[in-house]
């Protein structure tokens, strides 16, 4: 069953090995886990529903509690300390577009605000219930999880908006197709959530971001139905899909999404390469990204992240041998690991690998082969379970991501890590910060930093430390000219930084679009903009 106060299925655990614990102890000091609230304690804080007519909504305390939060750090603290409110006053589970329209009409009659709920994996406060005199309802699309239509001529698949990653790929695979959208939250996040938050999956280099995959959609808005897209390309004015992508639930419920799919690939493999240092790795990855080679994935970890990954992997004989071998090949201390994926037909993948090997060699990279890469691919949705185990050992994990042009990426990475360290030092604490470039483009890349720090005993102290770090890091991103989000979206946590990116007229335009479809501001108020 899905954990109510952590990540993932409670049947799965991530084992924190002794050497990983030793690394945390050395970098951060001993961790003391705060006491977790029990589900019963948390449920006792759920107040009575304010809905006059709850017939269309589940007003039970547990359903409401389970739809109150996502996975942001403040959400994490709220669930762990059992202080999750405000709560939605009810949760609806529509089963079709028409059903969703009826739910929306019901909410309107009740004067309620509506928070669309996909997989609940938001990490920026998209799902939080604002303090409001109006009742609030959560609309979970989890029952809209079917492949509704597959057009094999046009390679288009129509899905219910609440279809999560595994169900989506399973239904496609049965028919010989793949979408190829693999965010790390794939286990739970949904196609509707991906579209409205402009999500990016690990193999974006081949399959594109969700923006490239999203062909068309059906939106139930407070003013009626709106359909967008449906042609391969168009010069007929602004593309209305762009209004939907990134709308974060403010325009309505995306009840159906048509996505561009492809036949299943014949081959796929993931390869690890080690560079002597950041400068060589960075130059190689940029050259690879700009080469046009048909790679499906390309990422580069900085030295801190490389060492952290190697430590988490254990200390078996194979790893000891790898460290010795890398040292002997010139990739000793300060080495940076890159992960490279190829996906497709036999000829295409061979061509990509041959070309990549040449570029890697020119930049003194040591090509290790598929052992590490394929293991990464096998465990790629399991690694996030470390969040639970680390917390239970007294350590918290948060991440921040942005995208920026190549010429500013290294400076931004260093500044972000420093900002987090400085902000944490003010509380007499340290942070273990590490970074990778996770998505690459010809013009630049995304920069994804992780922070591990010690948990404090109380919710308030944890919030204070996190807020200081988040502010410092976000301001650094803005100052360096990065976007406030490459893939996680805006929600409430990034909303204060959006005006710096969009400008006053841009913000007015976004607000005007929302007001046009949702004049009473009933859809997910407070997200994206206040
Ligand atoms: C461990 C972890 C790893 C992650 N890795 C990635 C990653 O690799 N790449 C990435 O892009 N993101 C990642 N994320 C962030 C998150 O998974 C994405 O933002 C995802 O797209 C959210 O989808 P969801 O279905 O869970 O939406 P939710 O979290 O349920 O909702 C997010 C927002 O979308 C709205 N919404 C959801 N469904 C609909 C709908 N059908 N109609 C209208 N509005 C809707 C909600 O109201 C809310 O505003 C990660 C998150 C976690 C916790």
Query: Considering the domain boundaries, does residue 303 fall inside one?
Result: yes
Query: Considering the domain boundaries, does residue 306 fall inside one?
Result: yes
Pocket of ligand 1 (CB under 6 A): 7, 70-71, 115-123, 126-127, 141, 161, 183-185, 188-190, 192-194, 196-197, 199-200, 248-249, 253-254, 384, 487-489, 524, 527
Query: Considering the domain boundaries, does residue 525 fall inside one?
Result: no
Return the pLDDT at 53: 85
Ligand 1: which of 9, 93, 144, 196 to mutate, judged by most atoms within 8 Å of the beta carbon? 196
Q: Enumerate residues 6+ apart whose C-beta is below 8 A from 110.
A: 51, 52, 53, 135, 137
Query: Considering the domain boundaries, does residue 119 fall inside one?
Result: no
CA–centroid distance, 115 to ligand 1, in Å, is 13
The C-alpha atoms of residue 16 and residue 390 are separated, in whole angstroms, by: 7
Query: Considering the domain boundaries, does residue 363 fall inside one?
Result: yes
Return the pLDDT at 14: 92
**Structural domains counted in the chain:** 1
Whats the size of the chain, residue-wise?
530
Q: What is the token pair recorded at 206?
A: 């081949």
Q: How many Å is the Cα radius of gyration of the chain?
A: 23
Ligand 1: which of 118, 160, 250 to mutate, judged by most atoms within 8 Å of the beta carbon? 118
Ligand 1: which of 68, 138, 189 to mutate, judged by most atoms within 8 Å of the beta carbon? 189
DSSP annotation string for 124-176: SSTTPPPP-SS-EEEEE-TT---EEEEETTTTEEEEETT-BHHHHHHHHHTTT
Q: Whose CA is nearest to atom 2 of ligand 1?
A: 185
For the chain, 530 residues long, give each residue's pLDDT as a single digit of tens: 999 999 999 999 999 999 999 999 999 999 999 999 999 999 999 999 999 987 899 999 999 999 999 999 999 999 999 999 999 999 999 999 999 999 999 999 999 999 999 999 999 999 999 999 999 999 999 999 999 999 999 999 999 999 999 999 999 999 999 999 999 999 999 999 999 999 999 999 999 999 999 999 999 999 999 999 999 999 999 999 999 999 999 999 999 999 999 999 999 999 999 999 999 999 999 999 999 999 999 999 999 999 999 988 877 888 899 999 999 999 999 999 999 999 999 999 999 999 999 999 999 999 999 999 998 999 999 999 999 999 999 999 999 999 999 999 999 999 999 999 999 999 999 999 999 999 999 999 999 999 999 999 999 999 999 999 999 999 999 999 999 999 999 999 999 999 999 999 999 999 999 999 999 999 999 999 99
Residue 297 near residue 339 (C-beta atoms within 8 A)? yes
Q: What is the token pair recorded at 496?
A: 């204060």
CA quadruple 48, 54, 56, 58: dihedral, nearest 10: 20
Q: Partners of 523 in the beta sheet? A: 114
Angle, helix 459-480 to helix 73-80, in steps of 10 degrees: 170
CATH of the domain at 287: 3.40.462.40
Q: Write out the residue range of the structural domain in which residue 271 sits.
A: 267-380
Query: Considering the domain boundaries, does residue 275 fall inside one?
Result: yes
The C-alpha atoms of residue 164 and residue 114 are separated, in whole angstroms, by: 21
End-to-end distance of the chain based on CA atoms, in angstroms? Answer: 35
Query: Considering the domain boundaries, does residue 317 fall inside one?
Result: yes
Return the pLDDT at 313: 82
CA–centroid distance, 521 to ligand 1, in Å, is 21
Q: Whose CA is nearest to atom 50 of ligand 1?
A: 185
Query: Considering the domain boundaries, does residue 47 fall inside one?
Result: no
Whether pTM > 0.95 for this model: the answer is yes
């Amino acid at each position: 069953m899905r954990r109510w106060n952590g990540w993932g299925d409670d049947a799965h655990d991530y084992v924190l090995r002794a050497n990983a614990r030793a690394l945390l102890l050395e970098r951060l000091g001993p961790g003391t886990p705060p006491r977790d609230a029990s589900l019963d304690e948390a449920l006792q804080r759920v107040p009575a529903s304010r809905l006059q007519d709850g017939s269309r909504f589940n007003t039970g305390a547990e359903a409401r509690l389970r739809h109150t939060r996502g996975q942001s750090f403040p959400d994490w603290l709220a669930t762990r300390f059992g202080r999750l409110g405000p709560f939605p006053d009810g949760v609806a589970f529509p089963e079709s577009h028409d059903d969703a329209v009826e739910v929306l009409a019901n909410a309107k009659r009740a004067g309620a605000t509506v928070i669309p709920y996909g997989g609940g994996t938001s990490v920026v406060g998209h799902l939080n219930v604002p303090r409001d005199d109006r009742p609030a309802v959560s609309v979970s699309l989890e029952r809209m999880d079917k492949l509704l239509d597959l057009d094999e001529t046009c390679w288009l698949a129509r899905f219910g908006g609440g279809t999560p990653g595994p169900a989506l790929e399973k239904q496609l695979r049965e028919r010989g197709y793949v979408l190829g959208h693999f965010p790390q939250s794939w286990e739970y996040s949904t196609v509707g959530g991906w579209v409205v938050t402009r999500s990016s999956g690990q193999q974006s280099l081949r399959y594109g971001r969700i923006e490239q995959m999203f062909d068309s959609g059906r939106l139930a808005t407070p003013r009626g139905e709106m359909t967008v897209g449906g042609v391969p390309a168009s010069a007929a004015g602004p593309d209305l899909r762009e209004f939907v992508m990134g709308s974060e639930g403010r325009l309505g419920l995306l009840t159906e999404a048509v996505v561009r799919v492809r036949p299943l690939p014949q081959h796929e493999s993931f390869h690890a390469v080690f560079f002597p240092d950041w400068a060589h790795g960075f130059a190689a990855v940029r050259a690879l990204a700009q080469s046009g080679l048909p790679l499906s994935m390309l990422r580069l970890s900085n030295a801190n992240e490389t060492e952290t990954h190697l430590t988490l992997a254990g200390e078996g004989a194979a790893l000891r041998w790898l460290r010795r071998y890398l040292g002997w090949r010139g990739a000793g201390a300060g080495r940076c690991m890159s992960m490279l994926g190829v996906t497709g037909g036999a000829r295409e993948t061979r061509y990509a690998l041959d070309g990549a090997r040449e570029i890697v060699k020119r930049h003194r990279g040591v090509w290790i082969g598929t052992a590490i890469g394929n293991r990464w691919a096998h465990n790629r949705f399991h690694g996030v379970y470390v969040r639970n185990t680390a917390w239970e050992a007294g350590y918290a994990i948060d991440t921040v991501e942005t995208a920026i042009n190549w010429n500013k990426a290294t400076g931004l990475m260093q500044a972000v890590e420093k900002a987090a360290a400085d902000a944490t030092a003010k509380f007499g604490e340290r942070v273990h910060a590490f970074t990778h470039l996770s998505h690459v483009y010809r013009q630049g890349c995304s920069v994804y930093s992780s922070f591990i720090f010690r948990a404090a005993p109380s919710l308030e102290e944890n919030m204070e430390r996190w807020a200081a770090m988040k502010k410092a890091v976000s301001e650094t991103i803005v100052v360096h000219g990065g976007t406030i989000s490459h893939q996680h979206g805006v929600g409430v946590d990034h909303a204060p930084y959006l005006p710096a990116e969009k400008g006053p007229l841009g913000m007015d335009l976004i607000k005007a679009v929302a007001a046009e479809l949702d004049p009473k501001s009933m859809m997910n108020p407070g997200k994206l903009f206040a």
